Amino acid sequence: MTENQLFQRLQAQLSTLIEQTPAGQRLPSEPDLAKELGVSRATLREAMRAFEAQGQIRRRQGVGTFVVGAPGVMETGLELLESIETLAKRIQLPVSLGAIDINPLLADAAQAEKLRVAEGTPLVEVSRTILTADRPVAFLIDLLPQEYLLPEDLQQGFSGSVLDVLLHRSAPPLARSVAQIQAVSAKPQIAKKLQIQRGDVLLLLEAQLYGADGRIVDYSHSYFIPGHFRFHVVRRVGTA
């Protein structure tokens, strides 16, 4: 049997184990499971990544690996800019706000370049965790000049969505968003926020939001657990 066939058999065994384990229950420990299946812990860990990406299991550092119920999936086109809250409401998927942090700061060289402002410009950083079924599924960070996020915007009822605030206020007028998406490995601080393992695969959506005057209003980078999100793009057909 080839190495690829052995790996496929391992994934089939894991799939059966996950299907037979009730949601919320912990799987055997990694050493015990590797021994039971006759594979190394590294091989087992690699095989488990696919199931975690699909949202079928959830690994917690120092606690264990748990089976979760069928995940709610948020699907949207990248050609439409809307907040997660708006998307979830439209598809009737309950979401809640986890930890939120709002930090004033002065732009360093890297931040100034991203926002095309002078170093030392007063900025505000808003970071938040989005939950569904009490599980973290996304960690979002917005960075923008303080002039665009007013103190009254941060009063009671602020959901953490900078986009919703700007759209509701209609100032400054928004023109377009330029975004790129890529797969990345979870860094320690991001893994902790999402309660996953360091190095697990995430989808990173990095975007710059432009106002009608051509200035960058907001720079965001959003981390998504793949099994809970599907992004698509509607493309026009070109001519020969």
What confidence tens digit (pLDDT) does each residue in 81-111 have? Answer: 889 888 888 878 888 889 899 999 999 999 9
What is d(CA 33, CA 37) in angstroms, rounded to the nearest whole number? 6
CA-CA-CA-CA torsion sign (135, 11, 75, 144) = positive
Confidence of residue 222 (pLDDT cuts 50, 70, 90): very high
Coil, helix or strand at residue 165? helix
Amino acid symbol at 119? E
Cβ-based neighbour number of residue 22 at 10 Å: 7
SS3 for 22?
coil
In our burial notation (b when 16+ CB lie closer than 10 A, e otherwise), range 184-218 reads eebeeebbebbbbbeebebbbbbbbbbbeeeebbb
Which residues lie closer than 8 Å to 121 by C-beta, 6 or more apart?
Answer: 106, 107, 112, 115, 145
What is the average pLDDT score of the chain? Answer: 88
Written as one letter, the residue type at 208 is Q
* 42-74 confidence digits (pLDDT tens): 888 888 877 876 678 887 777 888 887 666 677
Residue 232 has pLDDT above 70, yes or no: yes
Instruction: Delineate the domains of the chain, giving CATH numbers in brackets.
Output: 3-67 (1.10.10.10), 74-232 (3.40.1410.10)
Q: Compute the Cα dihedral for 193, 195, 199, 203 and give only its sign.
A: negative
